[in-house]
Amino acid sequence: IEEPPSYVLFIFATTETHKVPATIRSRCQQFHFQLIPLETIKEVLKKNVLEIGVKAEDEALFWIAKESTGSMRDAYTLFDQILSFSDGHITLDGILQKLGIAGVDSINTLLTHVIKEDSRQAMEMVDEILTSGVSVEQCIKDIASYLRVVLLMKRNIENESILGMQKSSISEEVISTFNEEQLEAALHLFLQLYKDVRYSLSPRFELELSISRLITLKRMFSSSQLVKQIQEMKLSLTNNTTIPTTVKKATPPVVTAKVEAPKEEEKVVEIPIPVKVKVEEKRIETKEITLQVIREMSQVLAEQRDSVGMLLHQVVSIDFTPTLLTIIFSSEYVVSQTKEHMSRLGEIFLQHTGFSGKIVCEVEKKVVETITSTTDEVVKRIATLFRGEILTN
């Protein structure tokens, strides 16, 4: 309708505004609705409970508000479904039992056994959760959600609408035992498990295996922690070098006849202190490098299946001084390949001959002259073909 009557009002509702053409959006008054906060939904449900005259636990209403994900319609729908099997008293335990969801108390108990590294009790707790009707996938989701909440609380996030769980329900022992990096690793483990379990031959076995890995979580050290400990050890060893190697035992005082009571001998314990010992480096005498020496090195490396041996086999000649070794190869290709292994080449010469100077790789002059003459011939042909003139500097 190009020009609708004034009494006609069109209402267009969508959750995918970006798919609506710009020509339509430009002719509409747009209202962007936002999600309703969790606390607001919870308060509305409380009023609804009072109006209909039923009882409901605060934790149960919190769970319903969380599961509605900001939609009041979904909250009312879920509330009506739960009310139908609650006999006038809505409890969180009743909801979890009927819907097959692992409760926070069960996960608290499970992770307490994990902290104590009690594999038997942990596996029995997993069996109890699954026997109660909770599916393996749902159990994985619940543990992942729990670990997420603990990680957020470790980062001083206390807003329950963000946590999605009441703070008082989380075990303080779990929060204090694990650090942030360990919790991130555990959360990543269960998120990956949820992706993999759908293709698993035995989802329950995958869950039990992850719980076993979780038991060793306390002994996990991140790379940053290892670096920190190494630095502390290095610092302590460095400080100890300034202390004398042994502490001299105090000699007992000489007791003369004039002294009424002899003094007791002072007991001093000798403490060994690590000392830096300067080790004289064994200097390797530099041997004279000849073409024959390089041939022998090539043979040894070839037997060891070292690719550098094949490159040294292409050496035509050398120019050796105590500080510079110039190696002449037969082709430009071999030179380019050798330059990619210069560090390895230096190690080989140092090991076999003791030479630690500079190494330069060059192409045989005959090859360079051949390439130059071939290039000049091609240039002359091009100049003749196009009737041009070759300019020289």
Q: Whole-number mean pLDDT of the chain?
A: 79
Looking at residue 250, its pLDDT comes to 46
Count, in order, helices (H) and strands (E) of the chain: 18, 5
Edge-first strand order for the sheet with 358-363 is: 315-320, 324-329, 358-363
pLDDT tens-digit series, residues 346-363: 888 888 888 888 888 888
196-218 average pLDDT score: 87
pLDDT tens-digit series, residues 64-109: 888 888 888 888 888 888 888 888 888 888 887 777 777 788 888 8
The domains of the chain, with CATH numbers, are 1-99 (1.10.8.60), 102-219 (1.20.272.10), 291-369 (3.30.300)
Looking at residue 392, its pLDDT comes to 63
Looking at residue 191, its pLDDT comes to 92
pLDDT tens-digit series, residues 367-392: 555 555 666 677 777 777 776 777 66
Looking at residue 254, its pLDDT comes to 47
In 278-331, alpha helices (H): 291-303, 307-312
Residue percentage of the chain with pLDDT more than 90: 3
Residue percentage of the chain with pLDDT more than 70: 82
pLDDT tens-digit series, residues 108-128: 888 888 888 888 898 998 898
Looking at residue 332, its pLDDT comes to 82
Q: With contact defined as beta carbons under 8 Å apart, do 96 and 67 qualify?
A: no
Q: Of 140, 144, 136, 137, nearest to 164 (Cα)? A: 144
pLDDT tens-digit series, residues 132-159: 888 889 889 889 998 999 999 988 888 8
Q: With contact defined as beta carbons under 8 Å apart, do 91 and 58 qualify?
A: no
Looking at residue 81, its pLDDT comes to 86
CA-to-CA distance for 239 and 373, rounded, in angstroms?
A: 68
321-343 average pLDDT score: 82
Give 94 or 259, the one with higher predicted confidence: 94
Residue 14: is its pLDDT beyond 80? yes
CA-to-CA distance for 145 and 160, rounded, in angstroms?
A: 13
pLDDT tens-digit series, residues 269-308: 455 555 444 444 445 566 778 888 888 888 888 777 777 7
Residue 255: is its pLDDT beyond 50? no
Looking at residue 367, its pLDDT comes to 55
**CA dist 150 → 48, 105, 175, 179 (Å):** 32, 14, 6, 10
CA-to-CA distance for 79 and 70, rounded, in angstroms?
A: 14
pTM, full prediction: 0.47
Assign 100 to helix, strand or coil: coil
